[in-house]
Amino acid sequence: MAALSGIIRVMEKAARKAGGKLRRDFGEVEHLQVSRKGPADFVSKADQIAERTIYDELLHARPDWGFVLEEGGIIEGDKDKPRWIIDPLDGTSNFLHGIPHFAISIAVQEPKLDRSGWDEVTAGVIYQPITDETFWAEKTRGAWLHDGRLRVSARRQLSEALIATGIPFQGHGDLVEWSRIFGAIGPEVAGIRRYGAASLDLAWLAAGRFDGFWETGLNVWDTAAGCLLVREAGGFVSDFRGRSQPIHADQVLAANDVLHSRLHKLVANSLK
């Protein structure tokens, strides 16, 4: 059992405080489904309130750190200090439609040694309010679900693998590219799932619930914590060319070592 560090405690406290408000608002969204106005405006406010709650908690704990916020944009802090990367509600469409599958994602990113930009992610928390699950990881300390150690799936055969993805929608993403990748992977695997929350896809991959994941056109707040979770759980994360970066957003391919290699070959061949 790993003792929670100070930074993880701070992140979990912020996530749980915002998560409680999202649970309350989620109940209201279910009632708003039948209203003439619809729940879209309400959900937007719920998203903003959750982000403000997290921001206030983290600012109080680390007043000199910067922020990358989905709603609020970039807020500069001390250039010598880390910054927070926050998605207050990943899975907004699920939330909007009363589907209980969404999460809060918080990550810590370190500055480069020469202060020319941003480098590795060293801590991450993904909190699922409805199931009250806290997935967390710290660099070199492993990935965890509460106090239980996480490991990526040990499956080695694509025919046994369950793969998660995100499907392009409303002008977001490249449907032609996605279709080519799907056409290459689909016939080789046991199943493909699209649940609509990339942070949870990556957390579930770290927990061994999924065996692989691919998606394009994401944002850093969708994947920063999830990439760390997968790596600390023994998995591999790269772009479609096999290159590894601290955070993957535009192209994400993740799995255990064997399945990552096999998925990478399928993806690369499909895009030739």
Work out the pLDDT band at 41, boundaries 50, 70, 90: low
Kindly state which CATH superfamily the domain 6-149 is placed in.
Fructose-1,6-Bisphosphatase, subunit A, domain 1 (3.30.540.10)
Helical (H) or strand (E) element with 52? helix 40-61
In angstroms, the CA 179 to CA 245 distance is 25
- Per-residue pLDDT at 39: 57
Residue 62 has pLDDT above 90, yes or no: yes
What is the Cα–Cα distance from 103 to 39, expressed in whole angstroms? 18
Q: What's the pLDDT band for 103 if we cut at 50, 70, 90?
A: very high
Element (H, E) at 67: strand 66-69
Residues 191-211 have a mean pLDDT of 98
- The DSSP code for 6 is H
Structural domain spans, the chain: 6-149, 158-270
Contact 88, 107 (CB under 8 A): no
**Is the CATH number of domain 158-270 1.20.1250.20?**
no
pLDDT in the model for residue 6 = 94
Report pLDDT for 133. Answer: 98
Q: Which residue has the higher pLDDT, 38 or 226?
A: 226
Between CA 260 and CA 136 the distance in angstroms is 22
Band of pLDDT at residue 97, cut at 50, 70 and 90: confident
Cβ neighbours of residue 109 closer than 8 Å, sequence gap 6 or more: 68, 82, 83, 84, 85, 118, 119, 120, 121, 122, 224, 246, 247
101 vs 26: CA distance, rounded Å: 11
256 φψ region: left (φ > 0), alpha (ψ -120 to 50), beta (else)? beta
For residue 99, which of 88, 87, 89 has the smallest C-alpha distance?
89
pTM of the model: 0.93
CB 88 within 8 A of CB 111: no
Tell me what pLDDT residue 34 has: 46
Q: Encode pLDDT of 217-271 as tens digits.
A: 999 999 999 999 999 999 999 999 999 988 998 999 999 999 999 999 999 999 9
pLDDT at position 31, please?
A: 66
6-149 and 158-270 share one CATH topology? no
Mean pLDDT to the nearest integer, 119-125? 96
Find the range with the poorest average confidence among 76-90, 121-135, 169-183: 169-183
Query: Do the bridges between strand 83-90 and strand 142-145 make them parallel or antiparallel, or are there none, so unpaired?
Result: unpaired
pLDDT of residue 222: 96
Torsion, Cα 125 87 56 30, to 10 degrees, reads -100
pLDDT in tens, 227-242: 999 999 999 999 999 9
Q: Reduced to 3 DSSP states, what percent helix, strand and coil does the chain have, rounded to the nearest 5?
A: 40, 25, 35
More confident residue, 181 or 46: 181
Decide if pLDDT at 37 tops 50.
no
